[in-house]
Structure 1
Amino acid sequence: MEQIVVLITGCSSGIGLSLAVRLASDPAKTYKVYATMRNLAKKERLLDCVKGLHKDTLEILQMDVTDQQSILDARHRVTENRMDILVCNAGVGLMGPLEAQALDTMRQILEVNVLGTISTIQAFLPGMKARGHGRILVTGSLGGLQGLPFNEVYCASKFAVEGVCESLAVLLQHFNIHVSLVECGPVNTDFLDNLQTAKPGEAALQRVDEHTRSLYHTYLKHCGMVFQNAAQDTDDVVKIFLEAIQSASPAFRYYSSDALLPLTSPKISAPDGLQYIRTMSKIIFSTNEKEEQK
């Protein structure tokens, strides 16, 4: 049987790396994985993880999702001249008071998370349409389903990705192409380490009013507790991707954890939006304030 051809973006670490390893290490050699990353200097970590298990199942390609020519060059290097499964996983984060964010930094987040995802899909979609077959999986986020304070630009980018995918899913069912979003909460990856975060003492943050800085400090403590108590391992998230990849009839939206569902339900049950805003504010700020007063 022909191998299933898979291309994954953002494979230098985290979910992308773990998914590439899992698929490329399949004993039956079911998949031919093209693992892409912007900086090939980071490929050694991926090679170390697969060890000798990747013969004929893995190729690592340089690909910058913000550079259209880079995407096209990577597509040209897919020797099978087809793409069965496209996994758009590359993404970056940004955290801090909105007033402290530089325009160039905000633009970079949108270019990677939104335009990078769109450009990657654009490059491979015509081939999938022509064959009448394909799957597109996109790494979604809790921040694409609900607003999170001090994550305005990141959430804006992930909300946009939700709209792109949902719009495409309506159309692409007519081409036998399945679109799936894997909605992730906190995950133990390098994403948090690589997150662009406004740090205490930075000049930009010092220009923000004192009350906002205090709330931001509380939010950072909340994030620390969430990652300590509720963050998932990448293997748990990879299992969800495998479910979407192997399903005969994949869902449009998968949740990496049931813990995400109660937070999204108020947005539907209370259309005025206030219940969610009050609930999220209480979860993030009230609990921490009470702990500080003990």
Structure 2
Amino acid sequence: VTFASSVLPRSGTSGAMVKSKKKVVLITGCSSGIGLSLAVMLAKDEKKRYRVIATMRDLNRKDKLVEAAGDAYGKTLSLAVLDVCNDESVKQCVNDIKGRHVDILINNAGIGIVGPVESITIEEMQAVFETNVFGVIRMIKEVMPDMKKRRAGHIIVISSVLGVQSLSALVCLVFAGVGFHDVYAASKFAIEGFCESLAVQLMMFNIKLSLIEPGPVRTDFEIKMIQEVKERECPGADPETVHYFKNLYLPSAINIFLAVGQTPKEISKVSFQAVYFSASLFIYLFRNLTNSLYAPIVALKYADESGDLSVNFFYHMLFNLGRQESTFSLRPRVNLSEKLN
């Protein structure tokens, strides 16, 4: 599931010239979590190869970032206001950058939602897509024309393993970390589809596009979301679904994050490598799973083109585990062309 390609320097561009100039890195969603960790990691790069512009909707939430940045703040790291859901905010942020020059765009801002789909309003679903999909697209649309003119740039999207295999989430290990992520998974599938298509076009302009795909991440964002969900009444959902959600998923969710979740720093290291390999070694990976544990589970999706294998497997692992009457089997493969004939 990892696709790699080598991108060589354009003719007339020396390696020394590439290394001597700081790369301008624009990162969204830096008030906490992965965005904060990655902004600090790049700003504190020992070789000082990057000038980081860390953004957030509300600069009143800058204290954690400023403290973590230390001496890098004001030198290799600066702050800017940015709301990825607002066209004018996006345009103003990029316009404020000298020459609108962004070498590396890292789309990190995102929101999550979990629960029975019947109990999630359309407005709540739209809010998730507004940030996770259209927010990313706004940012890409704003920097892409300038990158095309320069025939250089790197766009990185912090996606999710749920954008590759919506049923994965390490269910083989924890049995309950899957399900009830329908809307969030849909938003990640949407942006991954967008990026897979766009990446091919951008190659003509020497612009790289990379996906970073974490699984559970131990952040305040994740834990807070799970805790808030406990207060939900799940209106519109049937009692059986609510039972599974309340008594199977929620009691296990926090333990899952603590047991197998990665830290923001671990995710940032993978993202940092994507930046470094592309800028310094001229090697770039399109898809970057942050944890090798996900690889077999993701591969399960592609082992059977009908989809039965993964859907049935995860259903039995989640809902039928331990039931004596449960047997795991696939429907016989049907050749539709033969049936039609």
2:245 to 216, 234, 245: 216
The 1-side partners of 2:160 and 2:323 are apart by: 27
Confirm or deny that 1:89 pairs with 2:89.
no
User: Which stretch shifts more, 176-185 or 77-86?
Assistant: 77-86
What is the aligned partner in structure 1 of residue 80 from structure 2? Answer: 61
The 2-side partners of 1:211 and 1:119 are apart by: 40
> What SS does the aligned partner of 1:250 have?
strand
Unaligned runs of 5+ in 1: none
Q: Structure 2 matches for 1:270-281, cutoff 5 A?
A: 270-281=304-315
What is the aligned partner in structure 2 of residue 269 from structure 1? Answer: 303
Unaligned runs of 5+ in 2: 1-19, 168-178, 325-341
The 2-side partners of 1:190 and 1:152 are apart by: 21
Contact 2:29 2:56 survives alignment (8 Å): yes
User: TM-score when scaled to structure 1?
Assistant: 0.93
> What SS does the aligned partner of 1:52 have?
helix
What is the aligned partner in structure 2 of residue 157 from structure 1? Answer: 187
The 2-side partners of 1:11 and 1:74 are apart by: 14
The 2-side partners of 1:68 and 1:140 are apart by: 21
The 2-side partners of 1:194 and 1:74 are apart by: 29
1:135 to 154, 162, 173: 154
Give the CA deviation at 1:180.
0.4
What is the aligned partner in structure 2 of residue 13 from structure 1? Answer: 32
Q: Quickly say closer, same or farther: Cα 1:196–1:127, change in 2 above 3 A.
A: farther
The 2-side partners of 1:5 and 1:286 are apart by: 51
Q: Quickly say closer, same or farther: Cα 1:236–1:198, change in 2 above 3 A.
A: closer
The 2-side partners of 1:287 and 1:50 are apart by: 47
Give the CA deviation at 1:54.
3.0
Q: Structure 2 matches for 1:198-213, cutoff 5 A?
A: 199-200=229-230, 202-203=232-233, 205-213=234-242
Q: Structure 2 matches for 1:1-294, cutoff 5 A?
A: 1-148=20-167, 149-195=179-225, 199-200=229-230, 202-203=232-233, 205-217=234-246, 218-247=248-277, 248-287=282-321
The 1-side partners of 2:120 and 2:226 are apart by: 10
The 2-side partners of 1:128 and 1:285 are apart by: 48
The 1-side partners of 2:101 and 2:45 are apart by: 20
> What SS does the aligned partner of 2:45 have?
coil
Give the CA deviation at 1:200.
4.8
Q: Quickly say closer, same or farther: Cα 1:83–1:199, change in 2 above 3 A.
A: closer
The 2-side partners of 1:257 and 1:178 are apart by: 22
The 2-side partners of 1:107 and 1:177 are apart by: 30
Contact 2:114 2:229 survives alignment (8 Å): no
Q: Which amino acid aligns with 2:244?
A: L
Question: Over alpha carbons, which structure has the higher Rg?
Answer: 2
User: Which stretch shifts more, 114-123 or 220-229?
Assistant: 220-229
Give the CA deviation at 1:274.
1.3
Q: Which amino acid aligns with 2:274?
A: A
The 2-side partners of 1:196 and 1:220 are apart by: 7
Give the CA deviation at 1:2.
1.9
Contact 1:14 1:190 survives alignment (8 Å): yes
Q: Quickly say closer, same or farther: Cα 1:102–1:152, change in 2 above 3 A.
A: same
The 2-side partners of 1:196 and 1:70 are apart by: 30
The 1-side partners of 2:75 and 2:263 are apart by: 28
User: TM-score when scaled to structure 2?
Assistant: 0.80
Give the CA deviation at 1:246.
1.1
Q: Looking at both structures, which has the greater relative contact order when contacts are Cα pairs under 8 Å and sequence separation is at least 6?
A: 2
Q: Deviation per CA, 1:76-116, whole angstroms, max 9, x where unpaired?
A: 11125311100011100000000101121111001000000
> What SS does the aligned partner of 1:211 have?
helix
> What SS does the aligned partner of 2:64 have?
helix
The 1-side partners of 2:112 and 2:102 are apart by: 28
The 1-side partners of 2:218 and 2:54 are apart by: 20
The 1-side partners of 2:235 and 2:183 are apart by: 20
Q: Quickly say closer, same or farther: Cα 1:104–1:201, change in 2 above 3 A.
A: same
